[in-house]
Amino acid sequence: MPDLTDERYDKHREAGSILADVRAEAVEMVDVGASHLELVETVEDRIRELGGEPAFPVNISVDEEAAHGTPGIDDAATFGEELINLDVGVHVDGWIADSAITVDLSGNPDHVEAVDDALDRALELVEPGVEAGEIGAAVEETIEGYDLNPVVNLTGHGLGEYEQHTDPTIPNRAVGQSATLEAGDVVAIEPFATDGSGKVSEGSRTEIYALDREQSVRDRRARQALEEITERFRTLPFATRWLESSRPEMSLKRLERQDVIHGYPVLSEDEGYLVSQKEHTVIVTEDGCEVTTRA
């Protein structure tokens, strides 16, 4: 069995503790009329104050949106009477914690209860030797008990050093073949529930990117942006608004066309349907799991 007192796991735990604190602060900021941009900038700054770094831009997903939404530069969006998902990531020296929570301002508490219960059921099953598909089956059964559908093309995932998504994959439905959890695995388990079809698709809006590869770039501004990306973010996702280089939108488009970076378009259900999410990061222990992101 891996040594769970190793420095790597301590950094996962430290990241999780920071995340639990800032997640609670973020929830308190969600109110009708409050600014999206103010919330994410406050939370990201708070992560740094507490000794971590954002593992990815704070995500705000509203109503049918499921993932990859974050404010742009000078974004004026505010919260309305909506279903709001907050997804927050923290890393300490590259070791990551990932957690999400749904706040209901829309009058749909069943969506929140469904993912809360599904995640609780999933966590009860986590131990060495359990099949990830068994966890997915429990998530699916719980969400369907609320007359909702799991989002089947979004999954939980492993967390590596400066790697936000690694093996093993943790499905949100029953599957025939899946990974077997092992002691020492660090995984994010994240049920999504919807009253829609259960499949999300990419939209046209992109504010989050990540580095694919380094290469020579002729355009001066794009080259400066690439230098900043490799120095500050490595391979972790970053937001357009994080870049200090001038005209970052144009530079990112050039880098994307050259396959130097890739974007994360906002993922959404069909308009008119709602998506909720709940997520915790766990370390698989010899006899169960340790939830690093629980307050």
Residue 66 in this model has a pLDDT that exceeds 90: yes
Residue 4 in this model has a pLDDT that exceeds 90: no
Distance, in Å, from the CA atom of 141 to the CA atom of 261, rounded to the nearest integer, reads 38
87 is an active site residue = yes
Binding residues for a divalent metal cation: 87, 98, 157, 190, 279
279 is an active site residue = yes
Annotated catalytic residue within 44, 65, 134, 279: 279
The pLDDT tens digits for 116-156 are 999 999 999 999 999 999 999 999 999 999 999 999 999 99
| DSSP assignment letter at 116 | H
Annotated catalytic residue within 131, 134, 190, 195: 190
CATH 3.90.230.10 residue window(s) in the chain? 7-200+270-291
Q: Which two tokens stand for residue 119?
A: 């995640």
Residue 1 in this model has a pLDDT that exceeds 80: no
Question: Strands 201-211 and 238-239, how do they pair?
Answer: antiparallel
Binding residues: 68, 87, 98, 157, 165, 190, 279
- Choice between 197 and 246, residue whose per-residue pLDDT is larger: 197
We find that the CATH architecture of domain 7-200+270-291 is Alpha-Beta Complex (3.90)
10 is an active site residue = no
Nearest to 33 by CA among 64, 86, 72, 76: 76
The pLDDT tens digits for 212-239 are 998 888 888 999 999 999 999 999 999 9
pLDDT of 246:
76
75 is an active site residue = no
pLDDT of 39:
98
Annotated catalytic residue within 87, 113, 134, 185: 87
The pLDDT tens digits for 76-116 are 999 999 999 999 999 999 999 999 999 999 999 999 999 99
98 is an active site residue = yes
pTM as predicted: 0.95
Rounded to the nearest integer, the mean pLDDT of the chain is 96
CATH 1.10.10.10 residue window(s) in the chain? 206-267
Annotated catalytic residue within 98, 113, 131, 269: 98
Query: Within 13 Å and on the Cβ side, how many CA atoms surround 111?
Result: 27
User: Of 2-11, 65-74, 277-286, which range is least confident?
Assistant: 2-11
Nearest to 254 by CA among 232, 225, 230: 225
- Return the CATH number of the domain spanning residue range 206-267: 1.10.10.10
